[in-house]
Chain A
Amino acid sequence: MEQVIQLEKVNKWFDDFHVLKDIDLTVTKGQKIVVCGPSGSGKSTMIRCINRLEAHQKGQIVVHGTELTNDLKNIDMIRKNVGMVFQQFNLFPHLSVIDNITLAPIWVKKLPKKEAENIAMTYLEKVKIPEQAQKYPGQLSGGQQQRVAIARSLAMNPDIMLFDEPTSALDPEMIKEVLDVMIQLAEEGMTMLVVTHEMGFAKTVADQMIFMDEGRIVEQATPDEFFNNPKSDRTKLFLSQILNH
C-alpha cells in the first residue's frame, strides 16, 4: 500500500508542556483513521502538525514523500493536498458561501472564476445545500456551516482530509447531517484522519482506531479489536466512560 503520511518519533512542546511524545504513525492511501482520547491528550495537535498549523520540534513528518520543515514551499504544497475541517467551522464570515468555497481555487490554484464556481456548486450539491450558495455563513445553521466547510476543503481536490472534532460544536440534531457527508466521503475512498468521539461513526467508517493519552499513542487497533478487546487499561477506562453515558 502506498504510504501517504508518515510520522516518526514526533515530539512537540508548548513551552514546558510536552504535548506529543514520540508519535509514530503511518497512513496509507484510502485509509480512514479515527483518533480519540481525553482532552489534552494531543490528538488535535497531532493532526494539526500534519498540515503544519503547528510545528513539531523533534522527529519527522513526511506527507506524500515531502518532509515538513520550515521550507514554506513544501508547506504550501502539502496544504494544497491536505484539506482540514475544524471544530469551529472557521468559515469566512465576510464572504458568501460560494465565495468561501471559490476563494482558494481562484487564488491558490489560479482557476478562472467561472470554473471555480462550477466546482463549488458541485461540492455544495454533494453536501446537499446548493440552495444556500448566495447566503452568508452567519445565516446558516451550525450543521450547514460545517458542511460548507467540508465543501470548501474538498474544492481544492485534496487527497487527504483531516477532521478536528468536526461535530463537537454542533447541536445534537445536526450531527447526523455532517456525519452522513463524512461517511459518503469515506465510501468514495478519501484518505481520512478524524479526531472525534462519535464512536458510532468510528465503527462504521474506521479502518484503524487510535487512542491517545498524555501525548502518546496508547493503542492502535482495528475497530473490532479496539472496541471488543482493548489491550490497555487506560483505553478500557476511556471506552467505559464514553460508551456508557
Chain B
Amino acid sequence: MTPNTSPYLSPNKMLNWSKKNLFSSWVNTIMTVIALIFLYEVGTFFLNWAIFKADFINNFRGETITDRTFCSKNIEVGQHGACWAIIFVRFHQFMYGFYPVEEAWRVNLVYAFLPFALIGVLFDKLPLRRVFLYFTFAFPFIAYFMLYGGPGLSVVATNKWGGLLVTLFLGVTGIAMAFPLSILLALGRRSNMPIVKSICVVFIEFIRGVPLITLLFTANVMLPLFLPEGVKPDNLLRALVAVTLFQSAYMAEAIRGGLQAIPKGQIEAAQSLGLNYWQTTRKIILPQALKIAIPPIVNTCIGLFKDTSLVLIIGLFDLLGIGRAALSDITWTKLYYEVYVFVSLIFFIFCFGMSRYSLYLEKKLKTDNS
C-alpha cells in the first residue's frame, strides 16, 4: 500500500489529481481532450448500438422477433442497433447445446453448485472451508451424475452437450486435472532420477511442440487404439484428454519457472532440519514456487479456456461453435456482430475473473514489506 493515498476521494483531491495528471501542460491538455472525444464517440456509438437503439425481444413495432426479418435494423435499414433476439431465442443452445430442454434444470443445478465447489479451493480464510473442500472433492462425481445421468436420471449422451456447458466442462475440468499433473511434471523435470526426468522432458517438449488442433485430432483418432476393442470413448472425453495433456505441459513449464526461482538455501535449510524430499517440496518449495508462478499459470489457464473453442474441429459445439451454428441457421443468418459480441462477452467475463483472482492471490500471498 502506498502510504500517501487516503481511502477518501474528495472533489478537491480529484481536481488536484486531474490538474497534475491530465492538464499539466498544453500538450497534455490537447491529448486529454482528444482522448476524451474519442472515448465519447466510441462509447456513445457502442451504447446506442448495443442498448439504446437495440432490439431485445420485440422490434420497434412491438412485434415479437422470431427470425431475422423482424429485426428493426432489417426493416428500417440504418436506423436501429443490435438485434439481440437471436441470443434470447437461442439462449438454450448457447447455454446447454442440444441438451434436452426438459432436462436443462440438471445443468442449471450444476452451474449453481459450481461456485460452491470452487470457493473452498480459491479462498483459504473461508469459514467452514473444510466442509467446502469435501464438497469440492465430491463435486466432480455429483456433476458427472447430474450431467450425464444414471440411476434415476435419464442419460444425456455427451454429443448432446454444447455451448457454455462444453466450454466450462473442458475449461474447468481440463485446468483442474492438469494442475496436479503439471506439478508432478515440473518436479519430475527437475528430478535427479534420469528416467523420470527424461520421461517428463520428452512429454513436455512433445506436447508443447505440437499445436492443440493436432492433439485434438490425434486424441480423436489414436485414443481408441489404446483402449480395448469395443470400448468407444466419446468425443468429449477425447477432447478432455487432449486439452488436459496440453494444459499440463504448459502449466508444468510455468511452475518450473517458479521452482527455479527458489534459492538453494531454502532447500538446504529444510534438509538441515530433517525434512525429507516430499515434506520439503510440499511445505517449502511448492508454496513459494507456485506463488511466483501465479501470473504465468493464470496466463496458461486463460489461454486454455479460450482454446477450448478449437474443439469445433472435432465436431463438438462449444460456446463459439454454437454461435457459428446459430449464424448458419437461415432464419438468423448475418447477425454476426450480435453473436460474436455476446460470445466474446461471456469469454471475457470468465477470463477477466481469472485475471482478477490472480491479482487478489498475489496481493494476499505477499509477506514482505516491499
Residues of A within 8 A of B (CB): 51, 53, 72, 76, 79-80, 82-84, 86, 88, 90-94, 103-104, 107-108, 136-139, 149, 152-153, 156
Contact = CB atoms under 8 A, between A and B. Distances in A.
Contact of B283 (A51, A82, A107): A107
A108 B279 contact: yes
Contacts of B276: 72, 76
Interface string B272-284: 1111100100011
Interface in B246-299: 263, 265-266, 268-276, 279, 283-284, 287-288, 291
Contacts of B269: 84, 86, 90-92, 149
Contact of A79 (B263, B265, B271, B369): B271
Interface of B: 263, 265-266, 268-276, 279, 283-284, 287-288, 291, 365, 367-370
11 contacts: A53-B271, A80-B274, A83-B272, A90-B263, A92-B284, A94-B365, A107-B275, A108-B275, A138-B370, A139-B368, A156-B273
Which secondary structure dominates chain B's binding surface? Answer: helix
B110 to A, nearest CB: 35
Contacts of B365: 94
Contact of A88 (B265, B274, B368): B265
B266 A92 contact: yes
Nearest to A87: B265
Report, nearest first, the 5 A-B pairs whose CB atoms are least far apart. Answer: A138-B368, A90-B269, A104-B273, A84-B272, A90-B265
Contacts of A107: 275, 279, 283
B268 A93 contact: no
A72 B276 CA distance: 9
B163 to A, nearest CB: 41
Contacts of B270: 92
Contacts of A137: 367-368
Contacts of A82: 272
A39 B274 CA distance: 28
B367 A93 contact: yes
Nearest to A53: B268
Given A84-B269, A108-B273, 8 more contacts: A72-B276, A79-B272, A79-B273, A84-B272, A88-B265, A92-B288, A137-B367, A153-B272
A88 B266 CA distance: 10
A90 B276 CA distance: 17
Contacts of B291: 94
Contact of B288 (A93, A108, A156): A93
B367 A94 contact: yes
Contacts of A138: 367-370
B265 A136 contact: no
A82 B369 CA distance: 33
Given A136-B368, A138-B370, A139-B369, A108 B274 contact: yes
B87 to A, nearest CB: 46
Contacts of B369: 138-139
Contacts of B283: 103, 107
A107 B284 CA distance: 12
A82 to B, nearest CB: 8
